[in-house]
């Protein structure tokens, strides 16, 4: 636990380093997720339309 906390603190620089990594990871994940979700929605459309007509 102490080792993990020491690692997260990064000698006092953790407060700058982890927000930077977190922001990069969050925004990049979002920009992969959004087109992937749109692609899935575009591919589902005909099926849903077919289901609605029935």
Partner 1 sequence: MFKKPLLQKMLSQTQVFLTRVMSPPYFFSFAEKCLPWFVAVFVAALAYGLIGGLFLAPADYLQGEGFRILYVHVPCAFLSLMIYSVMAVAAAFGLIWRLKLAFAVMRQSAPLGMVFTFLALVTGSLWGKPMWGTYWIWDARLTSELILLFLYLGILALHSALPNRRLADHATAILVLIGFVDIPIIHYSVNWWNTLHQGSTLRLLAPSLIAPSMLYPLLAMTVAFCAYYAIALILRLRCALLSESGAR
Catalog residues that contact partner 1 under the rule CB under 8 A: 10-14, 16-17, 19-21, 23-24, 27-28, 31-32, 35-36, 38-39, 42, 45
Spatial distance between the Cα atoms of 34 and 21, rounded to a whole number of angstroms? 20
Least gap, CB of 30 to partner 1 (angstroms): 9
Instruction: Specify the residue, 11 or 52, whose C-beta has the smaller distance to partner 1.
Output: 11
Instruction: Specify the residue, 46 or 53, whose C-beta has the smaller distance to partner 1.
Output: 46
The tokens describing 46, both together, are 């005909």
């Amino acid at each position: 636990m102490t080792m993990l906390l020491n690692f997260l603190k990064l000698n006092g620089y953790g407060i700058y380093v982890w927000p930077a990594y977190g922001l990069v990871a969050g925004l990049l994940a979002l920009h992969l997720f959004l087109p992937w979700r749109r692609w899935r929605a575009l591919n589902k459309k005909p099926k849903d339309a077919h289901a609605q007509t029935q």
